[in-house]
């Protein structure tokens, strides 16, 4: 059996357009961000489920267009004052004090700068107590990464096996596609567990093992 390794979607990703899997679920977001700096709105909210590829897309933009990128709460707090000097900023899925966020957004609006905030749901539907912040959030252009199509699910599974140098029959992959929920997080959880079980039990990935893992997650 080909040796398998525990897989993580983010750890070994190379953030480039060539490695990003385009699909009907993410094409609108991909195309819009690719048009930088010719955006109709310089305030963007990219939203979608965890593991949907938001970070991948934003890192492509960061690398191509030299955006300043923050994805940890502590980094935001530590760098807050300097963020007002940035002309292009990405805030990737972090929780921020409402007053700080209001001040920052105001600065970017006033100086006509580029700001992208990613989230799992539209920021306009998030619970916000500060009324002035609510009005600012409504100025953002919403870009959604939708649930994956069958083609994307298939591609993600194939990428998983390819990255781990595991040879697997097409019909095995198609069987997973038929059974798996159309959820990025569910796909990631399933493939991670499938890989771990295969390693621990020293078994190849077949229908029996797939069903065993599905049953354990139901």
Q: What mean pLDDT comes out for the span 184-197?
A: 93
Whole-number pLDDT of residue 13: 52
- pLDDT tens string 11-33: 335 788 888 999 999 999 999 99
Among the three residues 119, 145, 171, which one is the final residue of a domain in this structure? 145
Q: What is the pLDDT of residues 162-189, one digit of tens each?
A: 887 777 889 999 999 999 999 999 999 9
The pTM of the full predicted model, rounded to 2 decimals, is: 0.87
- Spatial strand order in the sheet of 43-48: 68-70, 88-92, 114-119, 43-48, 141-145
CATH number of the domain within which 161 lies: 1.10.8
In whole angstroms, give the CA distance from residue 218 to residue 216: 6
Q: Hunting for tokens 């390794």 — which residue is that?
A: 5
Q: Which domain holds residue 160?
A: 150-217
- What confidence score (pLDDT) does residue 12 get? 39
Q: Same domain, yes or no, for 127 and 40? A: yes
Last residue of a domain, one of 98, 129, 145: 145
pLDDT tens string 136-146: 999 999 999 99
Tens-digit pLDDT profile for residues 110-149: 999 999 999 999 999 989 999 999 999 999 999 999 999 9
């Amino acid at each position: 059996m080909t040796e398998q390794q525990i897989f993580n979607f983010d750890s070994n990703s190379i953030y480039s357009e060539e490695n990003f899997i385009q699909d009907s679920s993410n094409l609108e977001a991909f195309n819009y961000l690719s048009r930088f700096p010719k955006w109709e709105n310089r305030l963007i909210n990219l939203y979608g489920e965890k593991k949907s590829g938001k970070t991948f897309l934003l890192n492509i933009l960061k690398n191509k267009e030299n955006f300043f990128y923050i994805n940890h709460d502590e980094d935001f707090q530590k760098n807050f004052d300097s963020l007002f000097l940035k002309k292009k900023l990405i805030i990737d899925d972090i929780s921020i004090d409402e007053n700080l966020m209001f001040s920052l957004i105001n600065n970017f609006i006033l100086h006509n700068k580029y700001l992208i905030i990613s989230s799992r749901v539209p920021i306009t539907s998030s619970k916000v107590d500060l009324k002035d912040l609510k009005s600012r959030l409504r100025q953002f252009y919403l870009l959604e990464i939708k649930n994956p199509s069958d083609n994307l699910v298939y591609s993600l599974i194939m990428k998983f096996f390819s990255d781990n140098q595991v040879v697997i029959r097409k019909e095995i992959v198609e069987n997973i596609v038929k059974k798996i929920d159309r959820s990025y997080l569910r796909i990631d959880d399933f493939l991670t567990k499938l890989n771990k079980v295969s390693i621990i039990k020293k078994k190849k990935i077949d229908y029996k093992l797939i069903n065993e893992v599905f049953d354990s997650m139901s």
